[in-house]
Amino acid sequence: MPQLPGCVAFASILFGLLTGCAAQNLTTATDSLSQQSLGNRPGLNAIAPAALPPLRQGQVIYVPIYSEVYDFNQEQTFQITATLSLRNTDLAHPIVIETVDYYDSAGEKIRTYLEQPLELAPLASFEVVVPKDDQTGGVGANFIVVWRAADAVSNPVVEAVMISTISQQGISFVSPGRVIQERSGE
């Protein structure tokens, strides 16, 4: 297979950026989100479930996650770090992320990442990382993200970025979320 120096360089740069930010900004598989783990991160605020705003608009979003992919055949896999990115695209209004749940290839819930709902300020973002060595999801892993807003808002961007390098080879790609249910008014 021919070398793709541009792609490898891009993957290496992206990998460096992601790992450089990981210690400070990302929630990993070993800890769920709480206000304490958010620290002083601007634009993010954990809220009590009883304080959820009224539902005017919202969605349930399915996001395919490839924490590993087949390499050569079905007996050999290549492990990948997956970053779930949730971005409020509205210029004026917050949204609330109600749940971020991780499922394996069999459709069984592996873990819940939020201890309580998370409000994202206008244009704020939040990330969750499934580390390269976490193989619990398998090749068909996915996230289910549920969000709501009290006002009419532009829909958030919810997608996953997968990246890995080994030796001089690198792989990176994006997996967009897909709306599986629209929500409005309760």
- 52-91 pLDDT, tens digit per residue, is 999 999 999 999 998 877 777 777 777 889 999 999 999 9
Higher pLDDT, 71 or 101: 101
Domain of residue 47: give its range.
Answer: 5-183
DSSP annotation string for 95-164: EEEEEEEEE-TTS-EEEE-BSS-EEE-TT-EEEEEE-TT--SS-TT-EEEEEEEESS--PPPEEEEEEEE
SS3 at position 78: strand
Total domains in the chain come to: 1
pTM here? 0.78
Which residue in the block uniquely carries the two structure tokens 């009419």? Answer: 152
Q: According to the model, what pLDDT value does residue 96 have?
A: 98
Nearest to 154 by CA among 116, 113, 103, 120: 120
Under a CB-based contact definition with an 8 Å cutoff, are residues 82 and 161 in contact?
yes
Condensed to tens digits (0 to 9), the pLDDT of residues 115-129 reads 999 999 999 999 999
Condensed to tens digits (0 to 9), the pLDDT of residues 11-40 reads 443 444 444 333 333 444 445 554 445 557
Nearest to 147 by CA among 102, 92, 109, 184: 184
Read off the CATH number of the domain in which 169 is found. Answer: 2.60.40
Under a CB-based contact definition with an 8 Å cutoff, are residues 81 and 131 in contact?
yes
Tokens of 26: 């990302």
pLDDT of residue 154 exceeding 80:
yes
Q: According to the model, what pLDDT value does residue 91 have?
A: 98
Query: Residue 92 belongs to what H/E stretch?
Result: none
Q: According to the model, what pLDDT value does residue 139 have?
A: 87
Q: According to the model, what pLDDT value does residue 99 have?
A: 96
**How does the average pLDDT of the chain come out, rounded?**
82
Q: According to the model, what pLDDT value does residue 72 have?
A: 75
Average pLDDT on 99-114 reads 96
SS3 at position 28: coil
Q: According to the model, what pLDDT value does residue 186 have?
A: 64
